[in-house]
Amino acid sequence: MRIKKLQHKRLNFPPQEMQPLREQLETTPINNIHEVLKPYQEWPFVRGDMYHWITVLNRFDDIMADVCEKFGLTSLQKVDFDAETRVLLVSILEFSRLLMENCINRNVYNSVERLDCLLNTSDPEVLESTLRMLLRAAHRWSYQRDVKTSLTVMSTRLMTVADTWRTNKDITTGSGNSRQSAEGSVSHTNEFKMLASGDESTPPRTSEAVVRYSFFRTADEARQLEEDAGSDQSKPQSKRSSGLATEGLVAIDAPIDSLNLDRAASRYEQVRQAFDTLVAQYRIPAAHQFELRHRIQVAMSFATGDSALRFTLLRSRICAAAFSRS
């Protein structure tokens, strides 16, 4: 939300060299903000004061609020960002992080609700920038009562992103509850060596990537699903879930090449296709869908041999793990 604090009575004027940038960020059309911020990958000024940037931060907050509403980020993202929106969000988040690193009075930052929503994104680049911002700001929020609830809500998703990928010799990925052979398992140290090696001499094949995930369906969840199924009897059978909504352990072991994905579709669309297929087949409740989607993204990064995506997800995992320990 917007910053409502008043400026200190003793606040000094900002350094003259900062003024042009502040004015540009306050007045430049939204579509051009990323161009203004492109030269500022590092902080070129003396140490600043967050109070000098309140107008800019409030504008950033309004932009993020509009994006979150437009793309439905109060829950899992279902509509992909266009290229302009992706670049705009990444530039805003990265510059906000620079402010947190190089200004005093950082506790005035008040966009935690927007960052909470952005964690629901399906875009790996936006997720990484969001986590980098969260990590930088975390120690400023530890004592603020008004954000403790939001941090608690975030914690489950952060733990999901930080969790090990359980990568074995066959390049399969799974959840913490998944079964693994003793022969194929590797240590965390060896896992990171393999993930960060960047060796693409033998890129993984689609047939070698499997989405493994398990969860326990409660009696209440099973009952609700059966009630929903009863109300959907008017729909064609092809559009209704085929999985049995029974209480107990639900285990998913789905090879990527068994999901009939459109290979001509974009990476984001293929992830969505896999996600929709598994949610419908196993009737997965909303509470478990964030982790499932993340497992699919990781599996797809191995299935396609996309090292750039894999490294982006790996950096997000490191940030999430560091956040949970901050």
Provide the 3-class DSSP secondary structure of residue 248: strand
pLDDT band at residue 13 using 50, 70 and 90 as cut-offs: low
pLDDT band at residue 178 using 50, 70 and 90 as cut-offs: very low
pLDDT value, residue 241: 47
* Cβ(221)–Cβ(229) below 8 Å: no
The DSSP output letter for 251 is: E
* Cβ(77)–Cβ(119) below 8 Å: no
pTM: predicted TM-score of the whole model, two decimal places: 0.83
Other beta carbons within 10 Å of 272: 20
Tell me the average pLDDT of the chain: 80
Provide the 3-class DSSP secondary structure of residue 229: helix
Q: C-alpha 178: how far from its chain's center?
A: 22
Q: Which amino acid is at 156?
A: T
Task: Indicate whether 318 pLDDT > 60.
Answer: yes
Pick the range with the lowest mean pLDDT from 53-67, 99-113, 149-163, 229-243.
229-243
Give the residue, 289 or 147, on which the prediction is more confident. Answer: 289
Q: Rounded to the nearest 5°, which phi and psi values hold at 247?
A: -70, 145
pLDDT value, residue 74: 93
The DSSP output letter for 103 is: E
Chain segment 254-305, per-residue pLDDT in tens: 988 888 888 888 888 999 999 999 999 998 988 899 999 999 998 888 888 7
pLDDT value, residue 179: 40
CA distance 44 to 39: 10
Task: Indicate whether 50 pLDDT > 60.
Answer: yes
